[in-house]
Amino acid sequence: MGRVKTSIYVNGDLWKRFRESALQKRVGVSHLLEEIMRDELVDDFLSEVLGEVAESEEYELDFEPIKPAEGVVSELVRAMRDERRDRLSRY
């Protein structure tokens, strides 16, 4: 399916900040919105699949928290999100 034009109502200040964020990232607002929608759909899909797995078996998740060898955790998370965005945008 091709692209569709749509109208939405959002908070004016939020929209202004969103547009500025897109400019800083050097991407179009439409592209950035599409990425957010894709991320949301992937999250929904994963939640559904994990819900099905959780219902079919009993399991326990156990892990030890780790600290990054260098840098701030928020920078690490941002890098991981950017990497995922780049992978998804190829599709």
Q: Does residue 79 fall inside a structural domain?
A: no
Residue 89 lies in a domain: no
With contact defined as beta carbons under 8 Å apart, do 27 and 82 qualify? Answer: no
- Is residue 53 in a domain? yes
Vertex 83 angle, CA 82 and 86, to 5°: 85
DSSP string over 49-81: HHHHHHHH------------SSS-HHHHHHHHH
Domain assignment present for 41: yes
The predicted structure's pLDDT at residue 44: 79
In a domain, 15, yes or no: yes
Domain limits for position 8: 1-63
pLDDT for 29 equals 93
Total domains present in the chain: 1
What do you get for the CA distance between the two ends of the chain, in Å?
14
73 part of a folded domain: no
44 in any annotated domain: yes
Q: What is the pLDDT of residue 86?
A: 82
Give the residues of the chain that fall short of pLDDT 70: 53-59, 68, 90-91
Residue 68 included in any domain? no
